[in-house]
Amino acid sequence: MTAKEIRRRKRRTPPPAPEPLPGLVDAHTHLAACGGRTADDVRAILDRAEAVGVDQVVTVADDMEDARWAVRAAHWDSRAFAAVGLHPTHADDLDDATRSEIETMVADDRVVAVGETGLDYYWTTRSDDCADPAVQRDAFAWHIDLAKRTGTPLMIHNREADRDLLDVLAAEGAPETVIMHCFSGDAAIARECVDLGYVLSFSGTVTFANSHELRDAARLTPDELILVETDAPFLTPHPYRGQPNQSYAVPYTARFLAEVRGVSDDEMAQVLGGNARRHYRLPLP
């Protein structure tokens, strides 16, 4: 086998299961993209996660098809909850019909967040299918309003749009709970967010060798405002970067956060899991 073939095989190989770390919640995953297209598949993914201490997950939609599926998946398994909305790259899809359907979904008792919504300037210059920034901002404002009207946490997607995103939130008036999914800003942006009471959710990117600013952000985030997530099947933590990700990998990132913050693994897990249950209003597992 050549070196190239070895690397290709490694990229297709999931990481090994970590040592169990009880009490965790995966604050943001994409079960469908992880292969969870049926009730049995979802059960298998969540069984594997539960075996290492990840008791509950929030599965997130990018588009309307994913949103409908996420709600179904949340009804298939009591360990799964849904977030529904349109990813900013799909903001062009927001019309009267989709607004009405999303509002109906948010009323479902298995839906715990509006989103992921926000701004994504990365893909505006790299994809012909990405919504224009002005369209993204209008859709973002509608999702903010929906979260406020329904008292539902707002799950934020932000890629290369720090200042504009925070400005839109300020102009529209943020809902009670704002969750910065896969936080990617520096310490200054993190400080601004936590001063506003926004929740910062850290994925496997915080473990990457070049993520010094993310680690600074993780250190300064107050205990009550920090979450952990996979964003699976993406962003697998070091040393498995580039390999397939699933919710069972959460303990790798949680242990890394514990080291960065100078606390025990068990204490970090209880903080992270407790925060997810409180901010998303999840029942105890």
pLDDT tens track for 17-53? 999 999 999 999 999 999 998 999 999 999 999 999 9
Residue 89 has pLDDT above 80, yes or no: yes
Tokens coding 73: 């998946």
pTM of the entire predicted model: 0.95
| pLDDT tens track for 157-203 | 999 989 999 999 999 999 999 999 999 999 999 999 999 999 999 99
Q: Which residues contact 179 (CB under 8 A, 6 or more apart)?
A: 27, 113, 115, 153, 154, 155, 156, 198, 199, 201, 227, 279
The count of other CB atoms within 10 Å of the CB of residue 223 is 13
Q: Which of 120, 141, 118, 115 is nearest to 130 (CA)?
A: 120
What was the pLDDT predicted at 225?
98
User: Which value, in Å, is the radius of gyration of the alpha carbons in the chain?
Assistant: 18
218 pLDDT above the threshold of 80: yes
pLDDT confidence of residue 7: 52
State residue 127's pLDDT score: 81
pLDDT over 60 (residue 285)? yes
Q: Using N-to-C axis directions, what is the helix angle for 162-172 and 187-195, rounded to 10°?
A: 10
Q: What is the pLDDT of residue 6?
A: 42
Torsion of CA 124, 243, 80, 266, to 10 degrees: -110
Q: What is the pLDDT of residue 182?
A: 97
Is the distance from CB of 230 to CB of 260 less than 8 angstroms? Answer: no
Give the pLDDT confidence score for residue 3 in this predicted structure. Answer: 43
Cα–Cα distance, 38 to 118 (Å, whole number): 29
State the pLDDT at residue 21: 98
At residue 5, does pLDDT exceed 60?
A: no
The better pLDDT of the pair 123, 83 is held by 83
Show the beta-strand stretches assigned E in the chain: 24-29, 54-60, 80-84, 111-120, 154-159, 178-180, 199-202, 226-228
Q: How far apart are CA 80 and CA 271, in angstroms?
A: 20
The answer to whether 74 and 59 are in contact (CB under 8 A) is yes
Strands, sheet with 199-202, edge to edge from the N-terminal-most edge strand = 24-29, 54-60, 80-84, 111-120, 154-159, 178-180, 199-202, 226-228
Report pLDDT digits (tens) over 124-167: 888 888 999 999 999 999 999 999 999 999 999 999 989 999 99
Give the residue, 98 or 11, on which the prediction is more confident: 98
Q: What is the pLDDT of residue 59?
A: 98
